[in-house]
Amino acid sequence: MDDIEKRLPRRDPLPAIGAQRRNLLGGLVGGTTTLIAGRTLAADLHNFPPLPSWSQQLGRPVATNPYGKPSPFEANIIRRLSPGLTTTRESTIAFTPLQNLFGTITPNGLHFERSHGGLPEVDPYQHRLILHGLVKNPKIYTMEDLLRFPAVSRVHFLECGANTGMEWNNVAVPTVQFTHGMLSCAEYTGVLLSTLLEDVGFDRKAAKFVLAEGADAAGLTRTIPLEFALNDAMIVYGQNGEMLRPENGYPVRLFVPGVQGVSSVKWLRRLELGDQPWHTREETMHYADLMPDGKSQQFTWIQEAKSVITSPSGGQRLLDKRGYYQITGLAWSGRGRIKRVDVSTDGGRSWHPAQLQEPITSKALTRFRTDWVWDGVPALLQSRCIDDTGYVQPKLRQLREGRGTRSIYHNNAIQTWRIATDGGVHNVQV
């Protein structure tokens, strides 16, 4: 960090109003700030002598970082743990900083991370995947085998079933990173699971379910219905153009599009076909949705349509007390494409459709944007999506009426951000 401190302090280009405010702060930017016809232009001065150091010194050699990394000024754009959520660092989750991301693709280093028994370092040369059970020809594949199969690349979101689970009862966390950050989207590359199931000659009559098992210490196991396995599930080794990161399942994982993340078993070592579900720990003790009558909805695979405004969002502050802000966010559905996203700035009294960024693809994040001129009075921002099945994202009140507040999973409620008169943005529920 030494070199950063040696550099000139950063001076942001300032809008007119901000410039005056900053000028009032005087000492913070000191003598380099100048008023020119009511606009300042501390940063603009860098375009004239004295030049900033980076314009005068020879930069570092090309490929100083053979594997590139973000600017040191971006060092705070990171995955974070939610304090107090879990007892161990081995069985926990790190959240994607949605508030800082553009577009729809999550950079690999920021993809949310969930492990149940720590992060294994799997040697791809020793790793094997076995397919057996109700199949004609049980087989063992090496990674070389898997990489030779006909591949497909598809952009999909991945969302933990417990995303937004902390907020069923009341507001619990301050930012969109913690309310919605068990969510990422990437271009995944691999083999369709159906290709491998054909390869081992699965029993079309008797086989109804697939058990997927990880090679990690937790040996995480989940039952996948054959309907999903044959539809669009993949055996994935590539993510955004490179091999999976260790924390996302290197060298190979299952990926079940549109289905709660725990089913996309990482560090995949075994697939078994069977005629009944296994009722593993992660589909009975956990990842089953407890209803008010004490019964649990089990095998709740699908992630229903959901959206959230990522900016402005909780923890931010609108510096200009009034003026233009673009409202932007993400929408997704485990059942297909996003058809429409509506935005409200008055807590749901009225709504208007936002623009959707193309391409809009099935079971992938869709970026929405809409213009907003804030008049300085308190506002309640919400987004509500509709998918191509016609399903409309529900209100929290409706979800609670149907499912109570103890179910943990599948909270896809409309999120509300309150804008206070001081520009502060707060996580609230209405």
Partner 1 sequence: MCKYKCAVLVLLGLALCRTALAAPWQSLGRPATPAEIARWNIDVRPDGMGLPQGQGSVAQGQEIYDSQCASCHGSFGESNEYMALSGGIGSLASASPQRTVGSRLNYATTLWDYINRAMPFQYSKSLTADQVYAVTAYVLHLNDIVTADAVLDPESLARIEMPNRDGFTTAHGFSSLDGKADVENTACLEACETQVALTSELPPEFTAQIYGDIREHFRGLASMNHERSEPLVVTTKGTNSDVTTLLNANGCMACHGIDNAGVGPAFNEVAARYAGDKAAAELLKLKLKQGGAGSWGSVSMPPQSRITDADAATIVDWIVSGMEEN
Q: How far is residue 280 from each of residues 121, 211, 224, 286, measured CA to CA in Å?
A: 24, 9, 11, 9
Side-chain half-sphere CA neighbours of 6 within 13 A: 5
Q: Which residue has the tokens 């030049």?
A: 51
In whole angstroms, the minimum distance from the beta carbon of 388 to partner 1 comes to 12
Q: What is the DSSP letter of 202?
A: B
Provide, rounded to whole angstroms, the least separation between the CB of residue 224 and partner 1: 11
Closer residue to partner 1 (CB): 90 or 187 = 90
Rank residues 4 and 35 by Cβ distance to partner 1 and give the closer one: 4
Nearer to partner 1, 38 or 61 (CB): 38
Q: What is the smallest separation between the CB atom of 22 and partner 1, expressed in angstroms?
A: 7
Closest to 365 (Cα-Cα) out of 411, 329, 414, 413: 329
CB nearer partner 1, residue 219 or residue 238: 219
Residue 34 or 297 with smaller CB distance to partner 1: 297
Exposed e or buried b per residue across 308-345, where buried means at least 16 C-beta atoms within 10 angstroms of its C-beta: bbbbbbbbbebeeeebebebbbbbbbbeebbbebbbbb
Smallest distance from partner 1 to CB 317, Å: 5
Q: From the CB of residue 299, how many other CB atoms can be counted at a distance below 10 Å? A: 18
Closest distance between partner 1 and the C-beta of residue 328, in Å? 10
Per the CB < 8 A criterion, the answer to whether 395 and 381 are in contact is no
Amino acid in position 136:
K
Encoded tokens for 50: 């004295």
Closest CB to partner 1 among residues 242, 321: 321
Q: DSSP class of residue 14?
A: -
Minimum CB separation from partner 1 for residue 212, in Å? 10
